[in-house]
Amino acid sequence: MPRHAFFCIDGHTCGNPVRLVAGGAPWLEGTTMLERRAHFLRDHDWIRTGLMFEPRGHDMMSGAILYPPTRPDCEIGVLFIESSGCLPMCGHGTIGTITLGVEHGLIAPRIPGRLSIDTPAGKVDIAYRQEGAHVEEVRLTNVPAFLHAEGLTATVEGLGEIVVDVAYGGNFYAIVEPQRNFRDMADFTAAQLIALSPRLRAALNANYDFVHPEQPQIRGLSHILWTGAPTRPDADARNAVFYGDKAIDRSPCGTGTSARMAQLVARGRLKVGDEFRHESIIGSIFTGRVESATTVAGRPAIIPSITGWARMTGLNTIFIDDRDPFAHGFVV
């Protein structure tokens, strides 16, 4: 059959899309989700590009595929698929996946409202609040987050010299705080941030190494987190997270908020037990919390949690037809 069908549940988490693939995904080999991710990227990446890019998706498209877990302490395995690749971990993707998966009976926790998921980045604990048929809120307790490097510099055409800290929260983030050549994300349009971000990311990746000290398969700076003052009285800070080639996260970014909290703890601006309410570019909020302190390869780290909500937008049977010249998607 030249036509492949994928049964998807579409939704969004605080504004950023989540396409949960509920049927049609391939079997993957591997004893960890990181190994399965490598198999998917090697042999099946056309499914990601076909479902994420135009004409079936768009620049911001993001989703997940459910698998049996590879570890006994998790109920379900999750492979994240995005326009940017297969992220080790995705916060908004997790909140959307749990919401859509539980509401449709694809995820059945042993204890109502609680489960653990097996992600390429590691085990992530979930607590969710369900009212009737609907999941109202999801809290994820993330993999350890840590400040990886401080005060890295890069020269960015259009901005000049920029100094960043790089922190890990499931992906590596360059965090751009107020400085001589950057005041606040509010001074830029989304299009301007999309133009500047790849230059900053390329300059940092060219000059520095970003490798997880315990999981060397997780490497490379993928995301830029531009900071700003909140516009909502109930938020502590605002951010615009750039990912992929043209995407600005519409949600407050779960792994980005985790990385930001790790950086703020390392800098003495947050402590264990503190909450951090992060506002997105469109005004939606994730509530972060510094749950506890830990270490990663001997360096200080935190266990962050992120709370947010998601809503379903529709059921979507998507065809990828081998005869279609745009079967595997395109980027303009």
| Piece of 18-26, 84-92, 108-116, 318-326 that binds ligand PYC (CB under 6 A) | 84-92
CA distance linking residue 24 with residue 37, whole number of Å: 17
H/E element, 42 = helix 33-43
Residue indicated by tokens 């993330």? 142
Q: Which of 78, 81, 90, 235 binds ligand PYC (CB under 6 A)?
A: 90
CA distance linking residue 207 with residue 220, whole number of Å: 11
The torsion defined by the Cα of 246, 251, 100 and 8, in degrees rounded to 10, comes to -10
* Binding flag, residue 243, ligand PYC (CB under 6 A): yes
* Binding flag, residue 148, ligand PYC (CB under 6 A): no
H/E element, 210 = none
Annotation marks residue 86 as catalytic: no
Q: Are 61 and 21 in contact (CB under 8 A)?
A: no
User: Toward ligand PYC, which CB reaches closer, 280 or 320?
Assistant: 280
* Binding flag, residue 288, ligand PYC (CB under 6 A): no
Annotation marks residue 253 as catalytic: yes
User: Toward ligand PYC, which CB reaches closer, 238 or 320?
Assistant: 238
* Binding flag, residue 146, ligand PYC (CB under 6 A): no
* Binding flag, residue 254, ligand PYC (CB under 6 A): yes
For the bound state, the minimum distance from the C-beta of residue 62 to ligand PYC, rounded and expressed in Å, comes to 6
* Binding flag, residue 290, ligand PYC (CB under 6 A): no
For the bound state, the minimum distance from the C-beta of residue 116 to ligand PYC, rounded and expressed in Å, comes to 18
CA distance linking residue 252 with residue 279, whole number of Å: 6
For the bound state, the minimum distance from the C-beta of residue 250 to ligand PYC, rounded and expressed in Å, comes to 9
- CA 269 from centroid of its chain's CA atoms: 24
For 212-241, give the secondary structure using H, E and C: CCCCCCCECEEEEEEEECCCCCCCCEEEEE
Looking at residues 30 to 69 of the shown chain, list those that interact with ligand PYC (rule: CB under 6 A): 62
Q: Which of 91, 228, 288, 304 binds ligand PYC (CB under 6 A)?
A: 91
Q: In sequence order, which ranges of 55-135 are alpha helices (DSSP H)?
A: 91-103
Give the active site residue among 8, 14, 86, 90.
90
CA distance linking residue 66 with residue 147, whole number of Å: 30
For the bound state, the minimum distance from the C-beta of residue 86 to ligand PYC, rounded and expressed in Å, comes to 12
Q: What amino acid positions are annotated as catalytic residues? A: 90, 253
Positions in the binding site for ligand PYC (CB under 6 A): 16, 62, 87, 90-92, 243, 249, 251, 253-256
